[in-house]
Amino acid sequence: MTIEKRPHREILSKSVVTKEGKKLGVVKDITFETRTGELIHIVVRDATSYCSHLNLELSNKGEVLIPYNSIIAIGDFVVISEEDLM
């Protein structure tokens, strides 16, 4: 799957939702591998209680991290495939 390249600032502050429409939070930042530029996670702020049911990885600051490869679309929202989180 290829995701259209977008500037970092266009993705910040977008709501993160599952393809079933459950809100997970808002994009705070993106983590990436500095040597290769590979995107690793989106960092979520204002995480909803639904996130705790998904057992997602947390940053050392306690922020929810969603694997970048679970993104299926970026538009008005960042849409995540829940199946790819398991």
- Top-confidence residue, 6 or 31: 31
Burial of 77 (0-12, 13-18, 19+ CB in 10 A): middle
Residue 2 has pLDDT above 60, yes or no: no
- pTM of the shown model: 0.84
Looking at the predicted structure, is the pLDDT value of residue 3 above 90? no
pLDDT digits (tens, 9 = 90+) for 7-62: 667 889 999 999 999 999 999 999 989 898 888 999 999 999 998 888 899 999 99
Q: What is the pLDDT of residue 14?
A: 95
b/e per residue 15-45 (b: at least 16 CB within 10 A): ebbbeeeeebbbbbeeeeeeeeeebebbbbe
Domains of the chain, with CATH numbers? 8-76 (2.30.30.240)
- Determine the pLDDT at residue 4: 61
